[in-house]
Structure 1
């Protein structure tokens, strides 16, 4: 990793508010004139049940359906819970490949596909490895943090336990890391 790029690992269990935290930081970075790039993953809810995952390309705000519950879909690219659309997974990889250089890189999220099966958003791993950003936020589930820490040993880990903690953690990130992007590497 380039010394100029700081990686923040955002971790917490399902429903803890990781994506909400990321959305708050992205909005504040945009308001400060930062070049913000990457992807955010949002839940698709049907009658309050998560049935899918939608991705948003941060620079363009374009949205696509990334995955459906394995109870609703079946593909060759899947985990125990999610069947991923290979076309939209590739689209997400293209977004991540073109994300750097930037001021704030967002990768929401890297999981078992990337760390255990070397599939999924491999361009997200490469973008993070490049260090071509001032700050990167990467969402990682607690069970995969050790693998992320071995890949990015200088990363700072921030844990979120409940969605009510998101505003305070976002403010901590803003106060500590969202400085002027003018000296970006």
Structure 2
């Protein structure tokens, strides 16, 4: 089954590429997408954290914040409760969908064993996957995904056309 991952520098548009491709696929009749999407939380122009959303239900929580008490990644505290209740559960539920989106497999998400386990269950499934991978993680799960996925590097030159390329590949493989 087709498994595509995008990677690249911070802020280059990896999540945007995945979101645009997934949105185009979601507009196909009878095509169901599950998984997670992350986004920045900004206040007064400053990034204060990241949200996490279950794509199937729309349920949203906080993945990481400058305030909190969870494990630290840089200046952010990872909210393990939302990561597991929303993120890991969304991935397990997505096994019933036509495409599983994982935005992202990075340092914050990898702080949760439940999340890692949910991603491993997705990888063991026979479902197509579209994921965002942290560009330099040496975590065993990220290394596995680099071997098993077609990995596309997002850059300023290709980020506008990648959603259409990914859409076409996933649409014709299902």
TM-score, normalization: structure 2?
0.85
CA offset at residue 123 of structure 1?
3.9
Give the direction of change, closer, same or farther, for the CA distance of 1:31–1:57 in structure 2 (3 Å limit).
same
**Partners of 2:12 and 2:60 in 1: how far apart?**
23
Asked if 2 retains the 8 angstrom alpha-carbon contact of 1:111 and 1:141, the reply is yes
Deviation at 1:146, TM superposition (A): 8.3
Q: In the superposition, relative to structure 1, how do residues 114 and 19 fare at CA in structure 2: closer, same or farther (>3 Å)?
A: closer
The residue aligned with 2:169 is 176
What is the CA–CA distance in structure 2 between the aligned matches of 1:142 and 1:7, rounded to whole Å?
Answer: 17
Structure 1 residue 145, shift from structure 2 partner: 7.1
Deviation at 1:65, TM superposition (A): 1.7
List runs of 5+ in structure 1 lacking aligned partners: none
Q: Distance in 2 between matches of 1:54 and 1:113?
A: 11
Contact 1:94 1:123 (8 Å CA) reproduced: no
**Counterpart in the other structure of 2:93:** 98
Note closer, same or farther for the CA distance 1:158–1:18 as it changes in structure 2 (3 Å cut): same
User: CA 1:152/1:124 → structure 2, altered by over 3 Å: closer, same or farther?
Assistant: farther
Partner of 1:52: 49
User: Which structure 1 residue ranges, 4+ long, deviate > 4 Å from structure 2?
Assistant: none
Aligned to 2:124: 130
Aligned counterpart, 2:21: 25
Two-structure CA RMSD over aligned residues (Å): 2.3
Distance 2:15 2:32 in 1: 19
CA contact (8 A) 1:22 1:170 kept: yes
**Which of 63, 66, 82 is equivalent to 2:63?**
66
Is the 2:33–2:101 contact (alpha carbons within 8 Å) kept by the matching residues of 1? Answer: yes
> What residue in structure 2 maps to residue 8 of structure 1?
4
Per-residue displacement from partner, 1:63-86 (whole Å, max 9, x unpaired)?
Answer: 2122102xxx23232322321222
TM-superposed deviation, 1:113: 4.9
Q: TM-score if structure 1 supplies the norm length?
A: 0.80
State the aligned residue count.
171
The structural deviation recorded for 1:55 is 1.1
The counterpart of 1:89, out of the listed 76, 83, 93, is 83
Q: Are the aligned partners of 1:149 and 1:155 in contact in 2 as well (CA < 8 Å)?
A: no
SS in structure 2 opposite 1:153? Answer: helix
